């Protein structure tokens, strides 16, 4: 199997949501065949360029998953399975990417705001941003405003992602932005917000920078506006 074939197999298995050989995929008859873990390790052993794996394997696979999600062929659990594959592949490849001199594009703090326990959307965004080459500091769900601001400060993070799925908790995003201003950090950090009740109008209202309707838009934003 040549390098390009290996990368294509990695991408195929990410789309299938297969972490390990014993996992089933969406297509029949894949159980027992090498999956993302085995293929990434094999690719590294045979000297495949880890950067090519990220661009042609991981990123391409998640573009396909995004298209399937938009066409409603995939639901959130399907997208989450693929995102988990990307997260595991990135964990395996991280030391090799560092060795290859692939620098982090910057630190990205991400959290679901206080009072909100929803984290599926945030987890997908977190994994995708990691796959795009950022150093992600994921604070989890129901995170107090002071903890979020402290993490931005300690890490001197140029990016902050805030998520909320409830109309009651989305108001906390305003508190985070006010606290960033108080601490003199607001001008140094791009604030991206997302979650079902959020919108561009809400971004304008609270003084955030960008609204992202999903993980794919977050990546696009980072490539353009926030870059």
Q: Which is higher by pLDDT, 100 or 178?
A: 178
Q: Which two structure tokens, joined as six digits, stand for 39?
A: 């293929």
Residue 46 burial (CB count, 10 A): 11
Question: Confidence class of residue 107 from pLDDT cuts 50, 70 and 90?
Answer: very high
pLDDT at 225: 58
15-36 pLDDT, tens digit per residue, is 999 999 999 999 999 999 999 9
In this prediction, residue 184 carries a pLDDT of 97
Q: Specify the pLDDT at position 70.
A: 85
pLDDT at residue 148 in the model: 98
Q: Token match 């909320």: residue?
A: 164
Does pLDDT of 41 surpass 60? yes
Residue 227 has pLDDT above 80, yes or no: no
**Topology, domain 107-223:** Rossmann fold (3.40.50)
Per the prediction, the chain carries an average pLDDT of: 92
Tokens 């006010």 belong to which residue?
A: 178
Determine the Cα–Cα distance for residues 60 and 55; give it in Å rounded to an integer. 7
Is pLDDT of 1 > 90? Answer: no
The whole-number pLDDT of residue 153 equals 97
Per residue in 63-93, pLDDT (tens digit) is: 899 889 889 999 988 988 998 899 899 889 9
Q: Within a 13 Å sphere around the CA of 194, how many CA atoms are in the beta-carbon half?
A: 23
pLDDT tens by residue, 190-201: 999 999 899 999
CATH class for the region spanning 3-99: mainly alpha
Write down the pLDDT at residue 226: 47
Q: How far is CA 90 from the centre of its chain?
A: 11
Burial of 138 (0-12, 13-18, 19+ CB in 10 A): buried
| Tokens encoding 11 | 């991408």
Tokens of residue 217, six digits: 């838009």
Domain boundaries, the chain: 3-99, 107-223
pLDDT above 80 (res 103): no
Share of the chain above pLDDT 90, in %: 66
* pLDDT reported for residue 97: 80
What's the rounded mean pLDDT across residues 144-149? Answer: 98
């Amino acid at each position: 199997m040549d390098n390009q074939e290996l990368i294509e197999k990695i991408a195929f298995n990410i789309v299938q949501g297969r972490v390990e050989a014993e996992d089933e995929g969406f297509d029949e008859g894949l159980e027992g065949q090498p999956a993302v873990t085995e293929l990434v390790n094999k690719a590294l052993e045979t000297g495949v360029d880890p950067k090519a794996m990220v661009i042609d394997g991981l990123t391409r696979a998640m573009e396909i998953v995004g298209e399937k999600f938009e066409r409603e062929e995939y639901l959130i659990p399907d997208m989450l399975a693929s995102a988990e594959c990307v997260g595991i592949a990135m964990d395996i490849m991280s030391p090799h990417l560092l060795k290859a001199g692939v620098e982090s594009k910057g630190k990205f703090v991400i959290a679901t705001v206080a009072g909100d326990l929803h984290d599926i959307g945030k987890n997908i965004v977190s994994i995708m941003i990691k796959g795009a080459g950022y150093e992600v500091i994921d604070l989890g769900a129901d995170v107090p405003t002071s903890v979020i601001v402290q993490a931005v400060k300690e890490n001197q993070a140029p990016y902050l992602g805030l998520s909320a799925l409830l109309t009651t908790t989305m108001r906390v995003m305003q508190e985070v932005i006010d606290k960033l201003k108080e601490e003199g950090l607001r001008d140094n950090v791009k604030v991206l917000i997302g979650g079902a009740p959020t919108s561009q109008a809400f971004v304008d209202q609270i003084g955030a920078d960008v609204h992202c309707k999903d993980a794919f838009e977050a990546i696009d934003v980072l490539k353009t506006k926030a870059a």
